[in-house]
Structure 1
């Protein structure tokens, strides 16, 4: 029997056992939580952890109140709706004790004993320290209570059988807390703790197997997907036109912009918005750790490579993309021309250094072309208008084709751009 068959059979037997055995016991509700017990320092620490973990990003529906739940997270298995994290007693976590909260965060089990789907990244949160977990609980319980009942998650059979998640946990979930590597610096360990724990970077930037678990080993942080966007590799990424350095990573994560790589858009925008409120030392630690996963790049060499790549891109010939060139010059060049676009909407990223232009798939660029950046990660960035109501899918395909040929010389042309644009337009939130 092939290895995959053995694994599938084993998973099936584990799932069957979990379905018939008694599940986790409920934890009794608490009558009240005295938030006056926590100091301002503890609450601020909890706020920082919530920002590092992007709690509000996934637990706030479009147009909804912060952390009141209802955000629709599309997964390969169906739509999972986020829960209400506010301390409302009827619809939120207002009756949850700390014991119930930390069990959910570490084991993926709700107060009533039901299993949470691993779309909620408890696999990462389990690595958090006890003091950080308590601070996060204190912060959430001190926020305004919002009465809101999000839609119920209804996945197709057999994924709707939550006891089966116990088998998934047995196979893939490591509940052990983070243990520092004594051979590494304090900054490196802090960065790894944030990346693998509260920050759960792997949830988007690590590929997953057929049943939704992050792949380990050499696949760690080598690229994944999030909300229909490509999440590029964080390890020696070939997608970036020039190598990332620790300093350019810090600039990007702290401000949402790197002159050598571009602007944070899509799901990365809210991530940067949260990171921008953290202590600078934490963002530097994250940058230091991620940079350590790739061969060291000298900043001067990277800057020279960026300048040379921009020159090559500006000299590229795209004689076959006349329609795309006209659209670019009328809609894009005012901000993105190499000769010095006015940049009156904010920073002026050079297209030849933009990772989205160099990716193997066009989805990220098409997302930005259609929807723009109407909620920049930080106020200094300004915004970019979207063109989905201005250009049809054929015109957007011509524009994307021109940008690819013009600013990613040497990269293969994207195929079926018109159908890709139509697909993204149809699935837009």
Structure 2
């Protein structure tokens, strides 16, 4: 595939590239008064579902003005300005230019966009939703700010090679509803595969950076140094993990809905890391859309009865016998946990005075094959909860060194995921996570 893509890209580089699309005439910027309030509201919701501001807003910067660093295996890609500024944003873009970028990954001037911009998902959107999104973006305040230029190493800096990548991996067809499925299921799949671009994080990628298909669909990926767990369980039951998702308790549709809507599921934990801003956006969407997403994702796994999931949660909540662990070399980790963590994560769990109190025995990051997500939370805490009711969690990276982090994480793993193998080389993993920017 890599050789074929390279040859196709090389051939494309010798042919005329995509044509530029003439800009809107000077002084003819799109006028918000030309669109109805309903259309603008629809566009606002699509922008939320697509997390536009999450990737197109630099830390502390103006909304959608670009400059956010997207780390990829091929180098850093900088997000662009999508405010209606004519010089540095999309203010001179016609709808035709906007739709081409969203569906084919080609900018107004004819340059190929890198697929770090998920046009592979946005292509699924309907024409009506695409126009609504364009209208809403063009109605927002213009911000004059040039984003840093993306400079990938050779040969990735040859944007024309993306034409070969598109030929191999991109299908720009709009979503076609499945007539054999319900309207709720189709709405959920449309949002998951389209504007929501869930696969961008939750589907593994091949060596050329394309999302894998088939059984790899939504089977787990990575985002900003975090592990994005699988959304598909291979099996479910009260006596086993929820398949390859790594969740200690099978996900029910209602648990998914609660997690996506509020950022917390008592049976699974709290949304953190890159998932927190996603949930913050979903909290502002119509409840029916969040329900549709939960319904579709739940349909990808074997059915789970609520009573069975509750029984599994109760069985997992208490964790291993803490007294037995004192003879296994976890004394230091246990002391740190009791001093820094137990006040909020004691066996009672539930909702406390400072927000929710997730039970460690039910936390997916504790049962995950990799310690990275737990280490991220232990170091950085949760200073921007997905929703107001979740509460704040302090980080301990300035209090504990890598050896202490390893002891704490090792204790949590042994105490609350006793049926999982111990994580190896935790001190090195802690040093690696500490060095990451996100």
- In the superposition, the TM-score normalised over structure 1's length comes to 0.97
Residue by residue over 1:318-346, the C-alpha shift from the partner in whole angstroms, topping out at 9 and shown as x without a partner, is: 22200000110110001001045883321
Partners of 2:280 and 2:39 in 1: how far apart?
21
1:420 corresponds to: 429
Of residues 354, 366, 371 in structure 1, which corresponds to 2:375? 366
2:390 corresponds to: 381
Partners of 2:159 and 2:169 in 1: how far apart?
16
SS in 2 for 1:283: helix
Is the CA contact 1:316–1:409 (under 8 Å) kept in the aligned structure 2? no
- Displacement, 1:11? 2.0
Residue by residue over 1:298-325, the C-alpha shift from the partner in whole angstroms, topping out at 9 and shown as x without a partner, is: 0111011100111344667322200000
Is the counterpart of residue 293 in structure 1 residue 300 in structure 2? yes
Partners of 1:297 and 1:389 in 2: how far apart?
42
SS in 2 for 1:163: helix
Partners of 2:160 and 2:176 in 1: how far apart?
30
Is the CA contact 1:325–1:399 (under 8 Å) kept in the aligned structure 2? yes
Q: Which moved more, 1:307-316 or 1:402-411?
A: 307-316
Q: Which moved more, 1:118-127 or 1:140-149?
A: 140-149
Partners of 1:340 and 1:233 in 2: how far apart?
25
Aligned 1:190-339 pairs, distance under 5 A: 190-236=187-233, 237-238=243-244, 239-313=246-320, 317-319=324-326, 320-339=329-348
SS in 2 for 1:317: helix
Q: Note the residue ranges of structure 2 that are not aligned, 5 or more in a row.
A: 234-242
Is the counterpart of residue 111 in structure 1 residue 105 in structure 2? no
Residue by residue over 1:54-106, the C-alpha shift from the partner in whole angstroms, topping out at 9 and shown as x without a partner, is: 00000011111111100000000000000001111111100001000000000
Partners of 2:270 and 2:323 in 1: how far apart?
23
Residue by residue over 1:173-232, the C-alpha shift from the partner in whole angstroms, topping out at 9 and shown as x without a partner, is: 001000000000000000000000000000000000000000001100000000000000
1:3 corresponds to: none
Is the counterpart of residue 10 in structure 1 residue 7 in structure 2? no
1:96 corresponds to: 93
Is the CA contact 1:314–1:407 (under 8 Å) kept in the aligned structure 2? no
Of residues 160, 173, 178 in structure 1, which corresponds to 2:175? 178
Residue by residue over 1:213-266, the C-alpha shift from the partner in whole angstroms, topping out at 9 and shown as x without a partner, is: 000011000000000000000000430001000000000000000000000000
**Residues matched between the structures, number:** 423
Partners of 2:350 and 2:10 in 1: how far apart?
62
Is the CA contact 2:350–2:356 (under 8 Å) kept in the aligned structure 1? no
1:75 corresponds to: 72
- Displacement, 1:387? 0.6
Is the CA contact 2:218–2:231 (under 8 Å) kept in the aligned structure 1? yes
Partners of 2:180 and 2:89 in 1: how far apart?
43
Is the CA contact 2:47–2:133 (under 8 Å) kept in the aligned structure 1? yes
Q: Note the residue ranges of structure 1 that are not aligned, 5 or more in a row.
A: 1-6
